Amino acid sequence: MSAVNLRDLDLKLLVAFEAIYTAGNITRAAERLALSQPAVSNLLARLRELTGDPLFARGPRGLQPTVKAQAMIDPVREALGIIGRQFGHAEEIDLASYRRTFHTQILDTLEALLLPPLIKLIAERAPGISIENRRPRVDYDQDIVSGTVDLVCYASNVVSPEISAVPICPVDLVMVARRNHPGIRVPLDAQTVRDLLYVGLVSEFRRNTQIDRELLVHDIKRRVVLSLGQIWSVLPIVEQSDLVTMLPRGFALYVARKFDLVIHELPMALAEQHLYMMWHVKMDGDPGHRWLRETLRAIARERFGSKEQGAGDAAAFARAAAQ
């Protein structure tokens, strides 16, 4: 839109556009806005005239957004979120009609635990939502700031005025080894932890965790003889060799049942660590993004029994699941 026709822009046009985009249907958008169908059609016609684009075309699954509409939706949602926050308006989304693809980067050890219940909930309540998840990059903060990713869950957080970050779950480390490992006696002692050979992630990812620094406090330096790019490659190697690894307890319990692995308690207490959820501050008030954050945090609390669980958060998850 040019600076000239912005003077003709009515906020109701953007509200109607977002509702139509989400619902994929004029009738459902009208119900959501408590307007008549002709009124919503009229708002769409005005916005089409302003943008010089049809914005939506009829398809087999309702109204399909044009390339122009796809480019508009995120800025429009951001603008409406900013306005809503200024007026104290916390909009709830209608999961049954909401349509959106969220781009996420979730650490492997969380992906297997958080995404199955999330996808189950989406299949049952929010068929228009989809998740495109990738493993976090080392410079994931640049992806957040650039807007190419909506949400990141990782082992370290970034201190930045542009990024919101909250701990999503505690990290309680355990050692994982194959069954009947010849070098392990129960209970583990510090010397055994020193002597064992390890398989772990490549150094650029390992540097973002606190494992090695915490072990050095106890005068233990791990001998990592094999470094791999993803955690799922570590597991069969541990199962079929005398190499061991260290994993968060929740993930270790999950994979120990799928591989023939044994969990061993560490002989020393490590400082409390957390995995973090991060997103751009501009998404703080976005109702769809807020739903995703609240739902993932609630799933994490159920999975890990986080000490941060509270009545308000549990109610938020119940509300999300019921919609």
At residue 309, the pLDDT reads 37
At residue 87, the pLDDT reads 67
Structure tokens at 64: 């399909």
Contact 184, 137 (CB under 8 A): no
The band of 6, judged by pLDDT with boundaries at 50, 70 and 90, is low
Q: Are strands 223-228 and 197-201 parallel, antiparallel or unpaired?
A: parallel
Is the pLDDT score of 244 beyond 90? Answer: yes
**Other beta carbons within 10 Å of 264:** 21
Say which CATH superfamily domain 171-273 falls into.
Answer: Periplasmic binding protein-like II (3.40.190.10)
Say which CATH superfamily domain 100-164+275-322 falls into.
Answer: Periplasmic binding protein-like II (3.40.190.10)
At residue 313, the pLDDT reads 38
DSSP 3-66: TTGGGG--HHHHHHHHHHHHHSSHHHHHHHHT--HHHHHHHHHHHHHHHTS--EEEETTEEEE-
Helices 26-33 and 37-51 meet at what angle, rounded to 10?
A: 110
Q: What's the whole-number mean pLDDT along residues 318-323?
A: 34
Higher pLDDT, 148 or 1: 148
Q: What's the whole-number mean pLDDT along residues 225-238?
A: 92
Where along the chain do the CATH 3.40.190.10 domains lie? 100-164+275-322, 171-273
Q: Which CATH number describes the domain made up of 5-86?
A: 1.10.10.10
User: pLDDT per residue over 137-182, tens digit each?
Assistant: 888 899 998 888 999 998 877 888 889 999 998 888 999 999 999 9
At residue 316, the pLDDT reads 37
Mean per-residue pLDDT of the chain: 84
User: pLDDT per residue over 23-59, tens digit each?
Assistant: 788 988 888 788 889 999 999 999 998 888 999 998 8
Higher pLDDT, 310 or 166: 166
At residue 178, the pLDDT reads 96
Q: How many angstroms separate the CA atoms of 44 and 16, rounded?
A: 7
Computed on alpha carbons and rounded to an integer, the radius of gyration of the chain in Å comes to 24
Q: What's the whole-number mean pLDDT along residues 17-24?
A: 85
User: pLDDT per residue over 103-142, tens digit each?
Assistant: 999 998 899 999 999 999 999 999 989 999 998 888 889 9
Where along the chain do the CATH 1.10.10.10 domains lie? 5-86
User: pLDDT per residue over 78-103, tens digit each?
Assistant: 788 777 766 655 567 888 888 889 99
Q: Where are the alpha helices (DSSP H) in 59-182?
A: 67-86, 108-125, 140-146
Q: What's the whole-number mean pLDDT along residues 4-24?
A: 79
At residue 143, the pLDDT reads 92
